[in-house]
Amino acid sequence: MELRDLRTLIGIAESGSLSGAARKLNLTQPALSASLKRLEDELKVQLVARHSRGADVTEEGKFVLQKAYAILHDVADMTTVAQDLIEEPIGDVRLGLPTTVAGGITAELVHRLCTRHPLVRLHVIEAMSGVLVEQLQLGRLDMAILFDIQPMAGLRSEPILIEEPRLLVSGSHELASRKQIRLDELDQLELVMPSQVHSIRGLIDRISKSEGVSLKIIADVDSFPGIVSLVQKGYPTIFPTYLVREHIERGTIAAIPLVQPRIDWTLHLATRQDSVRPRASLATARLLIDLCSELVVNGIWPGRLHPRRAP
Amino acid sequence: MELRDLRTLIGIAESGSLSGAARKLNLTQPALSASLKRLEDELKVQLVARHSRGADVTEEGKFVLQKAYAILHDVADMTTVAQDLIEEPIGDVRLGLPTTVAGGITAELVHRLCTRHPLVRLHVIEAMSGVLVEQLQLGRLDMAILFDIQPMAGLRSEPILIEEPRLLVSGSHELASRKQIRLDELDQLELVMPSQVHSIRGLIDRISKSEGVSLKIIADVDSFPGIVSLVQKGYPTIFPTYLVREHIERGTIAAIPLVQPRIDWTLHLATRQDSVRPRASLATARLLIDLCSELVVNGIWPGRLHPRRAP
DNA sequence: TCTTTGATATAAATATTGTTTATACCTAAC
DNA sequence: GTTAGGTATAAACAATATTTATATCAAAGA
């Protein structure tokens, strides 16, 4: 089946005759006749009742007609999308970032976006991964960085990079000089962690359970500065290192790689796909991914590029 | 634009190369290449990045691809609908009927449907017109007979017949022998009527207001048998005559045509259009319309066919 | 009633368009 | 370097949609 014949059907429905449709579509009447016949033969339904004063769409035809309109409407949508994609990006973009990511990239991203795409206005919403997924689905966000996302209708997601969280201890902690540490060694420590609504906590809980290690978590702290100060006071945590980079450089916090098992997760950029004017989203996504890749390649953001991004 | 090229794009996306898509679509690689070029030229966007190891859909291409899937999905839907239309009708049909219609046609409709389309199960829901519209929109009904409907998304409606309500008085009433009556003569009478949620009452109210006639309605009665017994006790009403046919023949109720202004309304059959398997609905709709037309033509149902049904 | 008008159907010729064939070229992998 | 697997391009070819020309039909009007 081809769109040509659907356009024919619509033309006939709207003009009430094959000849009328032919005039409207700049074709001859036999061409219309043949086109309609093609469609009817393919669907094996009589769509149009021809008579000497014109032609009427049959009851059956009206059902098919309805679908034909929907299809051609979507086709028009598609060309609109394509048009939009080649024009200068403009409009609002609502970007959701998890706490552990937002602090490190927001400023630079906003700066680059202003420079490269001055007509795009960026709204950054910082929240937990779970909240971001919800907001995305509700349409309140255009895109978000998420952890280990599963495919969802209307969303397209792309892996960006793989992060390895580390054991963070204060610089004066007895473990501070360790080059690596096994998960089962942690059962002696009094840890602080974010609560289970954070995906990192969920991951740690799952892994420690499957490894048969019981961690002593003495407090759930859903505050990044709170966790940092607790680490410095002697309560270790397992956390991505990006945001504590300065502390590590100053030596006030040590970040010890975890081995056996190795723990990592993938950061994805998930984007809503239903927009009819997606160019602003697309431009932002590109800058965002470029920025993240750059930070990782330059070693500023500890982690490695996802294989699909750096082959 | 034609579907051929959209299929090409999807094939390339799914196989990761032009040659792969060509194999899958039973075409040669240059044909695919040309098809893709056509699409890209038309949309003026590069959809696929070609390289020596295959081809990747670009970011822009993914937006277009998404729409392409939607379109071809709808095309598949359309063929399903068409298939359904030529097979033996089967399934459940939920039909909504206003009170003044249900009593007169339900039995015969069920009987005919059982005979002609034994695989179709009919559910008749009797309710007020306003309720029926709601239920239709909510998807709880497949079709309904409604009064003076306005076009709505997802519904197709077709006029069936025009009813003229009459003044019903008891056989012994002083007006019982009148051949016709003007609306302004009714201001002396003590009337009963259905409440304003019924469309007949809304119509009467609008007309009497615009004609400057104030009717004395002494009770709102939302019960058909209630109204009939009140008429017999001496309180006239304005009502369709179909359901009181027997009373009229026995002379216990007289039905007096209203003139100046003439009052009428059109009964429509409204059908949901979003079903993927509409043949049962369609078959039922046809029987229903045939039945109504028959009753009108034979004079059993007072009214006249809509001009579009009886040219 | 006969003619005219405006519609559709059909067949053959034509034009367009998509497809294949043949070839060149590119790049990653061996 | 050679090979394998990919894409691009041009010309020949095939398929198919379109036009032209004609036949047919039904309703409206003389």
DSSP string covering A1-44, please? Answer: --HHHHHHHHHHHHHSSHHHHHHHTT--HHHHHHHHHHHHHHHT
Q: Environment class of residue B107 by beta-carbon count within 10 Å: exposed (0-12), middle (13-18) or buried (19+)? A: exposed
Q: Where do the CATH 1.10.10.10 domains begin and end in chain A?
A: 3-85
Q: CA A168 → CA A126, A214, A239, A244, distances in Å?
A: 23, 18, 7, 9
Lay out the sheet containing A166-170: strands in order across: A181-182, A253-259, A166-170, A237-239
- pLDDT tens digit sequence for A238-262: 999 888 888 888 889 999 999 878 8
Residues B144 and B163 sit within 8 Å (Cβ to Cβ) = no
All CATH 1.10.10.10 domain ranges in chain B, comma separated: 3-86
pLDDT tens by residue, B116-128: 999 999 999 998 8
Tell me which residue in B67, B81, B156 faces A74 most closely, judged by beta carbons: B67
- Beta-ladder partners of B188: none
- Contact (CB, 8 A) for A118 and B24: no
Provide the percentage of residues in chain B whose pLDDT is more than 90: 40
B7: closest chain A residue by CA: A2
Q: Cα A199 from chain centroid?
A: 16
The distance from CA B224 to its chain's CA centroid, rounded to whole angstroms, is 24
Q: CA A61 – C1' D15 distance (Å)?
A: 29
Question: Does the distance separating the beta carbons of A78 and B45 come in below 8 Å?
Answer: no
pLDDT at A261: 82
CA distance A122 to A109: 9
Domain with CATH 3.40.190.10 in chain B: 91-162+265-305
- For A101, the token pair is 């990511």
Helices (H), B222-307: 224-232, 245-250, 279-297
Task: Find out if CATH 3.40.190.290 is the number for domain B166-259.
Answer: yes
Number of H helices and number of E strands within chain B?
Answer: 10, 14
pLDDT band at residue A302 under the 50/70/90 scheme: confident
Top CATH class, A3-85:
mainly alpha
From residue B233, alpha-carbon distances to A80, B54, B261, B283 in Å are 67, 88, 27, 43
Confidence of residue A310 (pLDDT cuts 50, 70, 90): low
What integer pLDDT is reported at residue A269 of this predicted model?
A: 93
What residues of A are in contact with residue B75 (Cβ under 8 Å)?
1, 67, 71
| Residue B152 vs residue A147, higher pLDDT | A147
pLDDT digits (tens, 9 = 90+) for B19-78: 999 999 999 999 999 999 999 999 999 999 999 888 999 989 999 998 999 999 999 999
At residue B310, does pLDDT exceed 60? no
Q: Considering only residues B150 and B4, tell me which one the structure prediction assigns the higher pLDDT.
A: B4
Strand-by-strand arrangement of the A143-147 sheet: A120-126, A91-97, A143-147, A265-272, A155-163, A304-305
Structure tokens at A37: 């016949």
Residue range A91-162+265-305, CATH number: 3.40.190.10
Which of A310, A307, A191 minimizes the C-alpha distance to A258?
A191
A154 CB contacts (<8 Å, ≥6 apart)? Answer: A137, A272, A273, A274
Q: How does strand B253-259 pair with strand B181-182? A: parallel
Locate the DSSP E strands across A64-203.
91-97, 120-126, 143-147, 155-163, 166-170, 181-182, 190-193
Strands B265-272, B155-163: pairing kind: antiparallel
Confidence of residue A311 (pLDDT cuts 50, 70, 90): very low
A4 → chain B, closest CA residue = B2
From residue A249, alpha-carbon distances to A163, A181, A242, A245 in Å are: 19, 20, 11, 6
The pLDDT score that the predictor gives to residue A278 is 86
Q: How far is B96 from chain A (nearest CA, A)?
A: 20
- Which tokens in the block code for residue A248? 């590590």
How far, in Å, CA of B167 to CA of B191, rounded?
10
Whether the per-residue pLDDT at A66 is higher than 70: the answer is yes
Rounded to the nearest integer, the mean pLDDT of chain B is: 88
Nucleotides on strand D lying under 7 Å from protein C-beta: 5-11, 17-21, 25-27
Nearest partner of B240 among B158, B129, B77, judged by Cα: B129
- Backbone torsion region of residue B139, taken as left when φ is above 0, otherwise alpha when ψ lies between -120 and 50, otherwise beta: left
Q: Which of residues 49-68 of B touch strand D (CB under 7 A)?
A: 50-55
Query: Helix-strand-coil percent breakdown of chain A, rounded to 5?
Result: 45, 25, 30
Beta bridge partners of A216: A190
Q: Which of residues 51-80 of A touch strand C (CB under 7 A)?
A: 51-55
Largest Cα–Cα distance of chain B, in whole Å? 98
For residue B265, which of B105, B124, B139, B129 has the smallest C-alpha distance? B129
- Contact status, residue B94 vs residue B141, Cβ threshold 8 Å: yes
Interface contact A1-B86, CB threshold 8 A = no
Residue B159 has pLDDT above 90, yes or no: no
Count of beta carbons in the 10 Å neighbourhood of residue B30: 10
Confidence band of A24 (pLDDT split at 50, 70, 90): very high
* Architecture of the structural domain at B3-86: Orthogonal Bundle (1.10)
Query: What burial class does residue B82 get, using C-beta atoms within 10 Å of its C-beta: 0-12 exposed, 13-18 middle, 19+ buried?
Result: buried
Element (H, E) at B244: none
What per-residue confidence (pLDDT) applies to A198? 84
Mean pLDDT of the residues in chain A: 89
Distance A52 CA to D30 C1' (A): 21
- Report the Cα B175 to chain-centroid distance in Å: 38
DSSP B30-99: HHHHHHHHHHHHHHTS--EEEETTEEEE-HHHHHHHHHHHHHHHHHHHHHHHHHHHHSPP-EEEEEEE-H
Nearest CA in chain B to A272: B63
